[in-house]
């Protein structure tokens, strides 16, 4: 039975919760909003599956000598502009769609308060997955969904942090799926989801305080690498809309420069 006594040895990839045959493992948020597995010993049948899929308990062997490294950038300048770096995700995602496949990646929920993995099977749905989100993504049932789609013969592109893709590989229990493409994002750790929600709330409050007549506010877009001022001076941008007393929609863009 999985037991987390040291949080530095758990990335919250959720592989253990998804593999559990009795669903006795719940992902519970700590004070910072990071999810950790909590197992119910009364429902546990001691099958050991949760421990066998844990990326920290089963670290893969790495052979750098057999690794081929390449660098690439999307040829479409507009795609690169709205992406965080080189726009390669877009190219891979559209290639997957062209082969009647589906893409699983990180996107914001409806009010932008949380990042979660979700599926895209159309070009429009891909748009919500473009760009880095510097908040931990909730994987949910994504691993189970990946397995079912692969069993159905669909090409699948899964994009996540290295610990998430490692968790998925372990969840698939060593089975080879030629139609599965895994993409790791370069990761230096993920910020607190609770800190993000608090920051977003402060941005909204500052707009309302400066404009007390506004109502029905909503977050329309978030970019962690807004490059409208160029690559060297990118900013975190939160776009908010609200209605004034006359019912007119007021747009507000709040940015914090990289510096």
| HEC string for 216-252 | EEEEEEEEEEECCCCHHHCEEEEEEEEECCCCCEEEE
Does 81 lie in the same domain as 161?
yes
Residues 79 and 148 in one domain: yes
168, part of any domain: yes
Element at 199 (helix H, strand E): helix 193-210
Whether residue 217 sits in one domain with residue 126 = no
In a domain, 190, yes or no: no
Taking the C-alpha atoms of residue 243 and residue 215, their distance in angstroms, rounded to an integer, is 5
List, as one string, the DSSP characters of 109-167.
Answer: -TTSS-EEEEEE-SHHHHHTT-S---SPEE-TTHHHHHHHHHHTT--EEEEE-HHHHHH
- Domain count across the chain: 3
Q: Is residue 58 part of a domain?
A: no
Is residue 18 classed as helix, strand or coil in its secondary structure?
helix
Q: Do residue 167 and residue 253 come from a single domain?
A: no
pLDDT band for position 257 (50/70/90)? low
The answer to whether position 199 is within a domain reads no
Provide the β-strand partners of residue 107.
Answer: 116
Same domain for 175 and 109, yes or no, is: yes
What does the chain come to in residues? Answer: 259
Q: Are 41 and 101 in a shared domain?
A: no
Q: Are 241 and 252 in contact (CB under 8 A)?
A: yes
The answer to whether residue 62 is domain-embedded is no
Q: Tens digits of per-residue pLDDT, 161-219?
A: 999 999 999 999 888 899 999 999 888 888 899 999 999 998 888 877 777 777 777 88
Element (H, E) at 180: strand 180-184
Pick from 82-91, 102-111, 212-221: least confident = 212-221
Q: Is 60 a residue whose pLDDT tops 60?
A: yes
In which domain, by residue range, is 46 found? 7-53
The arithmetic mean of pLDDT across residues 89-115, rounded, is 96
Q: Shortest CA distance to 56 belongs to which of 103, 7, 10?
A: 10
Q: Is residue 252 part of a domain?
A: yes
Residues 26 and 76 in one domain: no
Indicate if 93 and 168 belong to the same structural domain: yes
Q: In the block, which residue shows the tokens 């690439």?
A: 72
**182 and 158 Cβ atoms separated by less than 8 Å:** yes
Q: Does residue 189 fall inside a structural domain?
A: no
Q: Do 231 and 151 sit in the same domain of this protein?
A: no
Same domain, 98 and 134: yes
Residues 97 and 154 in one domain: yes
63-80 residue pLDDT tens: 666 778 888 999 998 898
- Would 28 be classed as within a structural domain? yes
CATH number at residue 36: 3.30.70.20
Q: Rounded CA gap, 238 and 217, in Å?
A: 13
Whether this prediction's pTM lies above 0.75 is answered by yes
Q: Are residues 144 and 90 in the same domain?
A: yes
């Amino acid at each position: 039975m999985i037991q987390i006594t040291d949080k530095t040895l758990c990335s919250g990839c959720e592989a253990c919760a998804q593999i559990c045959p009795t669903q006795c493992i719940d992902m519970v948020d700590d004070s910072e909003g990071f999810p950790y597995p909590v197992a119910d010993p009364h429902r546990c049948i001691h099958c050991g599956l949760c421990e066998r899929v844990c990326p920290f308990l089963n670290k893969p062997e790495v052979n750098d000598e057999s690794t081929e490294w390449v660098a690439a950038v999307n040829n479409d300048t507009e795609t690169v502009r709205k992406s965080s770096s080189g726009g390669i995700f877009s190219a891979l995602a559209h290639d997957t769609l062209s082969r009647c496949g589906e893409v699983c990646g990180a996107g914001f929920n409806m009010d932008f308060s949380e990042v979660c993995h979700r599926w895209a099977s159309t070009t429009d749905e891909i748009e919500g997955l473009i760009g880095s989100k510097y908040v931990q993504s909730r994987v949910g049932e994504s691993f189970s969904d990946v397995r079912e789609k692969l069993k159905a013969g669909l090409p699948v592109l899964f994009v996540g942090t290295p610990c998430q893709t490692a968790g998925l590989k372990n969840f698939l229990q060593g089975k080879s799926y030629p139609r599965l493409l895994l993409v790791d994002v370069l990761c230096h750790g993920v910020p607190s989801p609770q800190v993000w929600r608090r920051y977003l709330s402060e941005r909204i409050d500052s707009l309302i305080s400066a404009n007390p007549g506004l109502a029905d506010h909503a977050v329309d877009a978030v970019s962690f690498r807004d490059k409208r001022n160029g690559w060297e001076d990118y900013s975190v941008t939160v776009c908010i809309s609200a209605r004034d007393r006359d019912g007119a929609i007021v747009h507000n863009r709040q940015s914090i420069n990289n510096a």
